[in-house]
Amino acid sequence: MSSCPDPANNSAGFTLVELMVTVVVLSIVMLVAVPSFNSLVQGNRLTGQVNQFVAALNLAKAEAVKRNQAVLFCHSADELSCSEPPSGGWQGWIVGVAQARPNPGIQAGSVIASGMLLSERIQIISGNQITQSDGEVRFLPQGLVRNSDGAPLNSALRVCLNISDEIAIRDIGISSGGQVDVTNNTSTSCTLPPEVQ
């Protein structure tokens, strides 16, 4: 005679205790992982914005040399024309062929590249020399950097992003010789960047 399996001994699945332990472990992992992931995403946004500005500055320099004429990197609110940055910081930028001095801005229809801020949480502040130049950085055909009056420009753009309890800062230094570099800082506020020496 064959015996039938007992259905009570053949059950599969999770017990209530196993399920509760799994939920607790997942909750702990989420509490640790979510803030770290958020900081990672914000840090990547900051890096992306800085890379966008550095690439635009290098493009302006390269285009000035290639075209053998002055090219501007400047603040823009509409991606079509240069404008003075508002007190709250930059909204966007454009690269275009510069008008002959003393005229500010770019030649009509000469926009080479443009972009807007990648996040509303990012704030970009000009150094004093860029501010006095109405948000314009002029690259000469020799690759040199000048302000709107033709004087050597040594300044910086400060890119700030509030991450958790501190503000992550990247200073994009622009020297009159055409060099662009980036330094990292942290602070509790987004203030004017130091001028480049």
**pLDDT band, residue 11 (cuts 50/70/90):** low
Which pLDDT value is given to residue 124?
A: 94
Structural domains in the chain, sorted by start: 16-187 (3.55.40.10)
CB atoms within 10 A of CB 38: 12
The structure's pTM equals 0.79
pLDDT in tens, 64-91: 999 999 999 999 999 999 999 998 899 9
pLDDT in tens, 112-124: 999 999 888 899 9
- Tokens, residue 152: 């050597």
Signed CA dihedral, 128, 86, 84, 173: sign only = positive
